[in-house]
Amino acid sequence: IYFNTPSAFVPGMNDHNQLEALRRMDIILVAGRDDPNIENNRALSRALWDKGVPHAFREWDGWSHDWPYWMKMVRQYIGGHD
C-alpha cells in the first residue's frame, strides 16, 4: 500500500537519481475541491515542491471523481494543454 500512495513515500525520497527522474516528468495533479481525498493531493503537491519536483496542481470545482470529469481532464491535460 505504501508505494500506491505517493503522498506517503515522496516525502521520504532521498535518492538523487529517483528525484531527477521525477524532475524530468511532466506531472499534472488534478482533483476536485469537494473530493474527500483533496488533502492527500495537496500534501503530495507540497511534498513534490519540497523535493524540488516541478509540477502543476489543478483543483476543479465539485466532486470531480468520476468518469465524466476524468474524460474532461484527460482531454484537457493529455497533449500539453495545461
Does 82 map to a domain? no
Cross-strand partners of 31: 59
What total number of domains does the chain contain?
1
Which residues, including other chains, have CB under 8 Å from residue 18's CB and lie 6 or more apart? none
Tell me how far apart the alpha carbons of residues 12 and 36 are, in angstroms, rounded to a whole number.
24
Does 65 map to a domain? yes
Range of the domain at 35: 2-77
Does 32 map to a domain? yes
Type and span of the H or E element at 42: helix 38-50
pTM for the full model? 0.89
Does 48 map to a domain? yes
Provide the grid cell at 23. Answer: 524532475
Provide the 8-state DSSP code for 27. -
To the nearest 10°, the Cα dihedral for 7, 80, 73, 61?
Answer: 80
pLDDT digit string (tens) for 17-60? 999 999 999 999 999 999 999 999 999 999 999 999 999 999 99
